[in-house]
Amino acid sequence: MVSISSFRFIQCICSSNLPITDTSFQSYIARIELALHKGDETVQEAGSKALGPLSTRYNVAPLLPKWSTHLKSNSNFILRRGWTTTLGYIHLSEYEVILELLCQSLENETDIEAKRNAAKSIGLVFERVTDVESMFLLTSC
């Protein structure tokens, strides 16, 4: 319950006009990453939803290479489930990398829940995509 409340707090702070220090940003990212290691789907979802507004305030694209390692088949299924959910909530100026990662998960994932999360995340990204190139990537999935 404390984790979910803290993620809602992060969402509210990030959705407001209040300043966020670099230290706070790093703390929020660490808390979200930690949540995705937990086997509780509710906590993973809350952390994922907190990353959405945070990614509108800070560019999280440089973190994608690190996060994408959690989608590999040698990662445990809890991480793969969490990160396939989380990628759908991230806001970026371009979505090609996220769509590519999610499409690969959809094609290669053996865990049905991670595959379901990837499909849901593709839908969330599609709701935000405005450029034709990203839409093309989505249709080639």
Q: What is the CA radius of gyration of the chain?
A: 14
pLDDT per residue over 60-76, tens digit each?
Answer: 999 999 999 999 989 99
**8 Å CB contact between 16 and 55:** no
- Give every residue of the chain whose pLDDT is below 50, as ranges: none
Q: Looking at residue 17, what is its pLDDT?
A: 83
How many other C-beta atoms are found inside a 10 Å radius of the C-beta of residue 63? 15
Q: Looking at residue 3, what is its pLDDT?
A: 82
Q: Looking at residue 68, what is its pLDDT?
A: 96
Domain ranges of the chain: 2-139
Q: Looking at residue 129, what is its pLDDT?
A: 78
Q: Looking at residue 65, what is its pLDDT?
A: 96
Q: Looking at residue 24, what is its pLDDT?
A: 96
